[in-house]
Amino acid sequence: MTGKQRRRAISTMVLMLLSAVPSMTTFAATDGAIPLQQGSHQLAASSTKHPNRTGPVSQADLAPNAKSAVVMDYATGKVLFAKNADVRLPMASITKIMTMILIMEALDDGKLTLKDKIKASEYAASMGGSQIFLEPGESMTVEEMMKGIAIASANDACVAMAEHLAGTEAAFVEEMNEKAKDLDMRNTHFANCNGLPAANHYSSARDVAIMSRELLKHKEITRWTSVYSDYLRKDTEHPLWLVNTNKLVRFYDGVDGLKTGYTTEAKYCLSATAKKPDGFRVIAVAMGEPKSTTRNAEVSSMLNWSFSQFESKVLYRKGQLVQQDVPVGRGSPKHVDALAGNLVGVVSARGSHPKYHSEVEIFKLRAPVVVGQKIGVLRVFDGDDEVARTSLVAAATVKRAGFWETVRDIVTFGTAK
């Protein structure tokens, strides 16, 4: 038995013992990150261009022991509660949310399949902290790597995936930072893909909520993040039992993710998401909690408060038909349907009974039009206040009409049918 195999066996025994004690959640306590920069500023509420930067609607301190905390409505991105939301703090293994975003995007784009084999380099296998004890040269499928990352917070699996997708971890981290910019994460910088201690590696509670929301747009992610326990290498001589570092997936109804984090510097961090049967989903983030039990209790309180105080309603789903037969000048065909470019939802205080109305703006179109092209804007109002908006996109491609088709239209224009 090699040294790493011996550690696998010991780790499995330890996990079996710890899983029997719900309050003991520190077995992933060696992963994390140390930022050099720390600062604080509160962003003012912005326009609907960035609805996730709406100010909090409650002054209650739901997380008194956290250094910072945020509750965000998933459907709208509206912040329902904020405490030091934009302070830059160590994020530990919450880092892996961004790593999983890039993996899920690669799956969506066809660059990966869940059955693809990923080989661990010597560097990937050398990662400390939480791990699945990859041996240099050992191969696992993407499905197995995702189990390791999402359930057991495996640092070695993160690096193996990063090297497979980008060639090197450094190149993958550049992509992580580019994605953070795209998401308008103003107080985040990544130095690695797994959250192990590194300089200049930090985030904020608001930014963690933003990237959590982005990850949840990939519906398949909860097939891993919601699992409490599973196995890797199950039919081998060295099976590894995985136990979710997020105990709320077992002890809070509706929680199906998302990611924990711990280091000495970061303390106990968690981005948790829960969904009610009616579809109302929220994201609760707590950073810098003193104990895992305190973290779990305060995140549970934030979830309870959200579901008791607010209700969310989806008005239009992504791809839903909004307006039929939008005219297209010199088009063949002459019309195209307009679809909602993104999900449009609203969140309101329970019992407030807002009255929403929608307004549609359609651009003047001229062929050619390509499928998915922005062709208008849908706005939702509560009274005079705009509360949501999305682009309207073309449901199909419209080519430019040919010469004889154009002549025929001119000749038949105004003729009774």
**Whether residue 328 is found in the same domain as residue 251:** no
Contacts of 267 (CB under 8 A, 6+ apart): 67, 287, 288, 289, 290
Contacts of 144 (CB under 8 A, 6+ apart): 232
**Nearest alpha carbon to residue 147 among 123, 114, 176, 125:** 114
Domain-embedded: residue 417: no
Cα-based angle 243, 249, 254 (whole degrees, multiple of 5): 160
**Whether residue 295 is found in the same domain as residue 345:** no
CB of 63 closer than 8 Å to CB of 83: yes
Give pLDDT, residue 8. 60
**Whether residue 259 is found in the same domain as residue 327:** no
**Whether residue 276 is found in the same domain as residue 127:** yes
Among this protein's residues, is 19 annotated catalytic?
Answer: no
**Whether residue 243 is found in the same domain as residue 378:** no
Per annotation, catalytic residue among 96, 179, 247, 267: 96
Q: Which two tokens stand for residue 279?
A: 């579809």
- Burial, 309: exposed, middle or buried (Cβ in 10 Å; 0-12, 13-18, 19+)? middle
Helices and strands of the chain, counted as H and E runs: 11, 19
Domain-embedded: residue 34: yes
**Whether residue 321 is found in the same domain as residue 249:** no
Per-residue pLDDT 10s for the chain (417 aa) are 555 555 565 555 544 444 443 333 333 333 332 222 223 222 222 223 333 444 444 445 799 999 999 999 998 899 999 999 999 999 999 999 999 999 999 999 999 999 999 999 999 999 999 999 999 999 999 999 999 999 999 999 999 999 999 999 999 999 999 999 999 999 999 999 999 989 999 999 999 999 999 999 999 999 999 999 999 999 888 899 999 999 999 999 999 999 999 999 999 999 999 999 988 999 999 999 999 999 999 999 999 999 999 998 889 999 999 999 999 999 999 999 999 999 898 999 998 888 899 999 999 999 999 999 999 999 999 989 898 999 999 999 999 987 666 656 565 555 544
Give pLDDT, residue 414. 54
Domain-embedded: residue 285: yes
**Nearest alpha carbon to residue 252 among 207, 284, 210, 288:** 284
Give pLDDT, residue 313. 87
CB of 288 closer than 8 Å to CB of 66: yes
Give pLDDT, residue 401. 86
**C-alpha to C-alpha distance for 13 and 131, rounded to whole angstroms:** 15
Give pLDDT, residue 58. 43
CATH number, position 405: 2.60.410.10
CATH number, position 274: 3.40.710.10
Exposure on the CB side of residue 182, measured as CA atoms within 13 A:
11
**Number of structural domains in the chain:** 2
Give pLDDT, residue 3. 57
Whether omega for the bond prior to residue 333 falls within 30 degrees of 0, making it cis, is yes
**Whether residue 34 is found in the same domain as residue 13:** yes
CA quadruple 219, 225, 229, 232: dihedral positive or negative? Answer: positive
**Whether residue 255 is found in the same domain as residue 345:** no
**C-alpha to C-alpha distance for 176 and 18, rounded to whole angstroms:** 33
- Burial, 137: exposed, middle or buried (Cβ in 10 Å; 0-12, 13-18, 19+)? exposed
Per annotation, catalytic residue among 93, 203, 226, 271: 93
**Whether residue 26 is found in the same domain as residue 144:** yes
**Nearest alpha carbon to residue 281 among 94, 63, 77:** 77
Question: How big is the chain, counted in residues?
Answer: 417
CB of 276 closer than 8 Å to CB of 311: no
Give pLDDT, residue 238. 86
Give pLDDT, residue 237. 87
**C-alpha to C-alpha distance for 360 and 356, rounded to whole angstroms:** 14
> pTM (2 decimals)?
0.80
Among this protein's residues, is 96 annotated catalytic?
Answer: yes
Among this protein's residues, is 46 annotated catalytic?
Answer: no
CB of 20 closer than 8 Å to CB of 144: no
**Whether residue 330 is found in the same domain as residue 296:** no
Domain boundary among 310, 342, 368: 310
Q: Which two tokens stand for residue 199?
A: 């300089």
Three-class DSSP category at 347 = strand
Domain limits for position 302: 3-310
